[in-house]
Structure 1
Amino acid sequence: MSKQRPAEWRRGPMRLRRDAVPESTTDQRLLDHRGPHDWLHTDPWRVMRIQSEFVEGFGGLAELGASVAIFGSARTSPEDPMYDAARRIAEGLCAAGYGVITGGGPGIMEAANRGASECGGVSVGLGIELPHEQTLNDWVDIGINFRYFFVRKTMFVKYSQGYIVMPGGFGTMDELFEALTLSQTGKITTFPIVLYGSEYWRGLVDWLRDTMLPAGMIAEEDLDRVHLCDDPEDAVRWFVAND
């Protein structure tokens, strides 16, 4: 004989009525070993995983000190001039007293971590779980792997004084425009952003100035948030001056 459901059910801050009222209590489901185990994979349980990633990230980076995030393509080969430029920029930042944070992968990320590590600076890699396994490069001295992109991105913003953005793909663009949005809306302050490689970035910058600005989608001061350059020393010098 089935029990009649109550007209209203309270589950913590939630109020449930009609068909939303469960047929059993949370304690019943917890103590019944015959029940299904899919609760391990539901969203409420994932909150604990997410929380643990924040705790691990905050704990691991809390004493990091002033640092700069360097972004760029994982596909850049060591023979590419951009690889050498990223390495030199990291060395310059190290000499200026900054640590370097990257996504911990190959390409530009490896070059930046290498530059920081070789000059005796702090070299950090924040990796991400991907369908195609990507391990942290050999030049990462402090590494953290994340399951969730948004947790990882929070760490980049929280523990970086600003970004230096080398040529890259969708991931690089994502980090760039998130930083611009947070800066524009005042969520982060004093956050210099360098776009390195004028030939690569010129089309985007021109589109922002010639299309978005006249359309009223951005303001003139939004364009001043970025510095376009082609010289590693200039990138470091401008960053330090605007930090």
Structure 2
Amino acid sequence: MTDAKSNQPRERHRGMVTLRRDAIPPSTADQRLLDSHLRHEWKTKDAWRALRILSEFVEGFDTLADLPPAVSVFGSARSKPDSPEWKLGEEVGAALARAGYAVITGGGPGVMEAANKGCADAGGLSIGLGIELPFEQGLNEWVDIGIDFRYFFARKTMFVKYAQAFVVLPGGFGTLDELFEAVTLVQTRKVTRFPVVLMGKSYWQGLLDWMRDTMQADGKIGPEDLQLMLVTDDVDEAVQHIVNAGEHLDDIQAASARRLARETGTN
């Protein structure tokens, strides 16, 4: 069986394994883990799945531990090369690389590919964290280091753990998922506060208006919560915001280290 668009054999990456044609199962690992209709498997298979999940964390941690400072870039897989967000993604990837950051994306097509391409063309390190999906995307050609994950939650941990900031371009449900998870982690102080940048004012304005006029007005969030995100069309402003936040965090950490040294009497 082939992909109707590319006339190439269908292909799915499942961890280290590549499956093609009739070897591709009808469901993904995430579906089999989360589907309540498979309740009869919970005692017989979930314990083994826990080891597979652990292996994904080990592989991710081991592969990404030596990354330079990095920024995770999110956006639609459906964006075309002639779209404004594609161009913006490429510019963001290049600007981040020139500022000394590696770029982490989901490794797929669209805005993700644009950001990886911009980073690679500018001489930066381009990372792709792929995911097993029913409609296989595969890692784009601009990825220098790629990891394919079975489980969304393992992959999402890597996006947060190894990023100094998030840049969010126009996208769909997956992009919103990453955006709101990041903002929630910052709001609840589960992670050290780091910048979340929304690129594309006109795209995000309706969402921001609703958050202010409905969520904030009803007391579900505070005015300060909307300040957790910078909204801009200016690539230079976005990158400078990330750089400034990094320098501020370095100052805080240095001051904390000096205070600890005084309290413990060490040099």
TM-score class normalised by the smaller sequence: 0.7 to 0.9
> d(CA) in 2 for partners of 1:76 and 1:220?
32
Q: Greater CA deviation, 76-85 or 100-109?
A: 76-85
Specify the alignment match of 2:193 in structure 1: 190
Specify the alignment match of 2:250 in structure 1: none
Q: Is 1:134 aligned to 2:137, yes or no?
A: yes
> d(CA) in 2 for partners of 1:57 and 1:125?
11
Give the aligned residue type for 2:208: V
Specify the alignment match of 1:26 in structure 2: none
Specify the alignment match of 2:162 in structure 1: 159
The 3 A distance-change label for structure 1 pair 235 and 54 is same
1:39 and 1:45 in contact (8 A); partners too: no
Give the aligned residue type for 1:148: Y
In structure 2, list runs of 5 or more residues that go unmatched.
Answer: 1-40, 247-267
The 3 A distance-change label for structure 1 pair 41 and 112 is farther
After TM superposition, give the deviation of residue 162 of structure 1 in Å.
1.2
After TM superposition, give the deviation of residue 185 of structure 1 in Å.
0.6
Specify the alignment match of 1:238 in structure 2: 241
List, as ranges, runs of 4+ consecutive aligned residues in structure 1 with deviation greater than 2 Å: 38-41
Specify the alignment match of 2:231 in structure 1: 228
The 3 A distance-change label for structure 1 pair 40 and 114 is farther
Q: Is 1:171 aligned to 2:174, yes or no?
A: yes
In structure 1, list runs of 5 or more residues that go unmatched.
Answer: 1-37
Give the aligned residue type for 1:68: V
Question: Rg larger in 1 or in 2?
Answer: 1
Q: Is 1:99 aligned to 2:84, yes or no?
A: no
DSSP 3-state at the match of 2:91: helix
In the alignment, which of 88, 93, 97 is matched to residue 90 of structure 1? 93
Higher helix share: 2
Deviations 1:142-165 (A, max 9, x none): 000000000000000000111000
The 3 A distance-change label for structure 1 pair 63 and 39 is same
After TM superposition, give the deviation of residue 220 of structure 1 in Å.
1.4
In the alignment, which of 178, 188, 204 is matched to residue 201 of structure 1? 204
Deviations 1:68-115 (A, max 9, x none): 000000000000121111111111111111000000000000000001
In the alignment, which of 64, 73, 79 is matched to residue 70 of structure 1? 73
Q: Is 1:81 aligned to 2:67, yes or no?
A: no
In the alignment, which of 119, 125, 130 is matched to residue 122 of structure 2? 119
Q: How many residues align?
A: 206
> d(CA) in 2 for partners of 1:66 and 1:41?
42
1:72 and 1:166 in contact (8 A); partners too: yes
